[in-house]
Amino acid sequence: MKTVKTNAFLKAAQSNSDRIKSQIEYKKQQMEQLNTEIEQLESQGTQIETLEQQQENLMQQVGQNDSNLDFEDATGSFMPTQQYDN
Protein backbone atom coordinates (compact mmCIF):
# COMPACT_ATOMS: atom_id res chain seq x y z
CA MET A 1 0.00 0.00 0.00
CA LYS A 2 2.84 2.36 0.83
CA THR A 3 4.47 1.68 -2.52
CA VAL A 4 1.28 2.58 -4.39
CA LYS A 5 0.97 5.87 -2.50
CA THR A 6 4.65 6.64 -3.06
CA ASN A 7 4.39 5.91 -6.78
CA ALA A 8 1.26 8.09 -7.07
CA PHE A 9 3.02 10.86 -5.16
CA LEU A 10 6.10 10.59 -7.42
CA LYS A 11 3.96 10.66 -10.56
CA ALA A 12 2.09 13.71 -9.28
CA ALA A 13 5.38 15.39 -8.36
CA GLN A 14 6.86 14.61 -11.79
CA SER A 15 3.75 15.93 -13.51
CA ASN A 16 3.90 19.10 -11.42
CA SER A 17 7.61 19.46 -12.18
CA ASP A 18 6.98 19.05 -15.92
CA ARG A 19 4.21 21.64 -15.78
CA ILE A 20 6.48 24.13 -13.96
CA LYS A 21 9.30 23.52 -16.45
CA SER A 22 6.88 24.15 -19.30
CA GLN A 23 5.73 27.40 -17.69
CA ILE A 24 9.32 28.51 -17.18
CA GLU A 25 10.14 27.79 -20.82
CA TYR A 26 7.08 29.74 -21.93
CA LYS A 27 8.09 32.70 -19.73
CA LYS A 28 11.62 32.58 -21.18
CA GLN A 29 10.18 32.77 -24.69
CA GLN A 30 7.99 35.70 -23.67
CA MET A 31 11.04 37.45 -22.19
CA GLU A 32 13.03 36.93 -25.38
CA GLN A 33 10.15 38.32 -27.43
CA LEU A 34 9.91 41.37 -25.15
CA ASN A 35 13.66 41.93 -25.38
CA THR A 36 13.39 41.84 -29.18
CA GLU A 37 10.54 44.35 -29.07
CA ILE A 38 12.55 46.59 -26.73
CA GLU A 39 15.50 46.51 -29.12
CA GLN A 40 13.20 47.43 -32.01
CA LEU A 41 11.69 50.31 -30.03
CA GLU A 42 15.15 51.56 -29.06
CA SER A 43 16.13 51.45 -32.72
CA GLN A 44 13.01 53.39 -33.64
CA GLY A 45 13.86 55.90 -30.91
CA THR A 46 17.29 56.39 -32.48
CA GLN A 47 15.66 56.80 -35.89
CA ILE A 48 13.27 59.38 -34.45
CA GLU A 49 16.17 61.32 -32.93
CA THR A 50 17.94 61.28 -36.30
CA LEU A 51 14.80 62.47 -38.07
CA GLU A 52 14.29 65.21 -35.50
CA GLN A 53 17.87 66.37 -36.07
CA GLN A 54 17.33 66.35 -39.83
CA GLN A 55 14.11 68.32 -39.35
CA GLU A 56 15.95 70.87 -37.21
CA ASN A 57 18.68 71.19 -39.84
CA LEU A 58 16.07 71.69 -42.57
CA MET A 59 14.29 74.31 -40.49
CA GLN A 60 17.60 76.17 -40.11
CA GLN A 61 18.14 75.96 -43.87
CA VAL A 62 14.62 77.27 -44.48
CA GLY A 63 15.36 80.12 -42.09
CA GLN A 64 18.52 80.94 -44.01
CA ASN A 65 16.64 80.81 -47.31
CA ASP A 66 13.99 83.12 -45.86
CA SER A 67 16.77 85.53 -44.86
CA ASN A 68 18.14 85.43 -48.41
CA LEU A 69 14.66 86.12 -49.78
CA ASP A 70 14.23 89.01 -47.36
CA PHE A 71 17.54 90.45 -48.58
CA GLU A 72 16.42 90.02 -52.19
CA ASP A 73 13.10 91.74 -51.48
CA ALA A 74 14.85 94.61 -49.69
CA THR A 75 17.28 95.29 -52.52
CA GLY A 76 14.81 94.69 -55.29
CA SER A 77 16.88 91.89 -56.73
CA PHE A 78 19.63 89.56 -55.79
CA MET A 79 22.26 90.14 -58.44
CA PRO A 80 25.62 88.47 -58.69
CA THR A 81 28.68 90.65 -59.10
CA GLN A 82 28.60 92.12 -62.60
CA GLN A 83 31.66 92.09 -64.79
CA TYR A 84 32.15 94.76 -67.42
CA ASP A 85 34.10 94.35 -70.61
CA ASN A 86 36.82 96.94 -71.24
pLDDT tens-digit map of 68-85: 666 655 555 555 555 556
pLDDT, position 28: 97
Give the distance from CA 83 to its chain's centroid: 55
Q: Using one digit for the tens of pLDDT, what is the confidence trace for 1-55?
A: 677 788 888 999 999 999 999 999 999 999 999 999 999 999 999 999 999 999 9
